Amino acid sequence: MKKLTLLLEDGTALPGESFGADTETSGEVVFNTGMVGYPESFTDPSYTGQILVLTYPLIGNYGVPGSSKNAHKLEKHFESDRIRISGAVVANYSENFNHWEAKQSLGDWLTSQNIPAITDIDTRTLTQKIRSKGAMLGVLTKHPEQFFDSRGKIILEKFYDPNKENLVAKVSVKRPITYRTHTAQRSALFPSSSPHFPQPKHPKHIILVDCGMKLNILRSFLERDISVTRVPWNYNPWKKDPKAKFDGIFFSNGPGDPARLPEIVETMKEAFRRKIPTFGICLGSQIMGIAAGGTTFKLKFGHRSQNQPCIDLETKRCYITSQNHGYAVDPKSMNKDWKVWLQNANDQTVEGIKHKSLPFSSVQFHPESTPGPTDTIGLFDQFIAQL
């Protein structure tokens, strides 16, 4: 293994060994406390621009599955078509792996996609630093001395801050794509009823605004016989066609600062004006908070794990949820027609909001899991019941 150093913006240098691509990278250093799920997490577009620290000490022991696609040509094992993190940081990388679906090692997978990674790092100490000081900018480099001036002072201008740009535009689809369920395909194939081929009930159809969507969100709708038109982040269906008809609109997860996305906010406000059933996850929840007249703020170190407890304030039930976000909605900023629906049991931040009378709601966590628990998968069914 070659030498590599994780250098933080405060000047902390953590030397280790490279086990990914022989290259350098920069981004925001964040941590995830999940014990498993690195193939899903690494391909989650919400991690775009971030160097991910995995706090579980042993990483790579079950390898990486091969590419396999379903009937809709969607990856079965990954959350997008490629690795999205900028780099990985682990304590102990396992070169030996064993799993019945594994096709390659984690190191080989990272190398094939030109993603650097570092091992032999005290991730416990690193995580404690991030929890204390907050998420920090960092670089994975072979030449850390290049980031200091002649007086030994860190050169902050050399650090890349992903939160200063529109990351959603980088990860969203570029054109609309429609996914029709089996029922919809049958309906088109046999448009008229007959004794041999009775007309199936036509499924519901939604618009999905892709802000950096995890594929299991799309899989979750298709498995429930919901046809989906997936559109780019800045696509307003009513501007394209003022008479456009569909049953609901969904806003996905994604990376970056929600305050930088006024185009998405305006699309959601238009959905509100038309009283279209509207649902959002993660970034989609932050967008809903802004569309509801509120504001968002950056969390000190974010929520990235598979065991975040969230309380439904209506039923008092506590759910264990999978999360990956760095921003939250200010509960005091929304107008009087809205209410906090779910709350994080650890720090009391907003985990879900809903309109008091209309079919608009969102959650900050990931009911589609991948990775993580499926406690809240029924939220898809609740939204579908409103269509």
Which residues are identified as catalytic?
282, 366, 368
Q: List Cα–Cα distances, 4 to 71, 142, 148, 174, 281, in angstroms.
A: 42, 5, 17, 36, 36
Q: How far apart, in whole angstroms, are the C-alpha atoms of residue 148 and residue 11?
A: 8
Residue type, position 329, single letter: V
Q: Label residue 212 exposed, middle or buried (CB < 10 Å: 0-12, 13-18, 19+).
A: buried
- Using the 8-state DSSP alphabet, how is residue 69 labeled? B
Q: How far apart, in whole angstroms, are the C-alpha atoms of residue 15 and residue 138?
A: 13
Q: How far apart, in whole angstroms, are the C-alpha atoms of residue 280 and residue 352?
A: 9
- Candidates 32, 28, 31; CA nearest to 8 is 28
331: preceding bond cis by omega (within 30 degrees): no
| Residues sharing a CB contact under 8 Å with residue 215, sequence separation 6 or more, in sequence order | 74, 75, 78, 79, 80
- Using the 8-state DSSP alphabet, how is residue 201 labeled? P
| SS3 state of residue 335 | coil
Q: How far apart, in whole angstroms, are the C-alpha atoms of residue 269 and residue 257?
A: 18
Tell me the CB-side half-sphere exposure of residue 80, using CA atoms within 13 A: 22
Instruction: Find out whether 94 and 61 touch, Cβ atoms under 8 Å.
Output: yes
**SS3 per-residue string spanning 287-303:** HHHHHCCCCEEEEEEEE
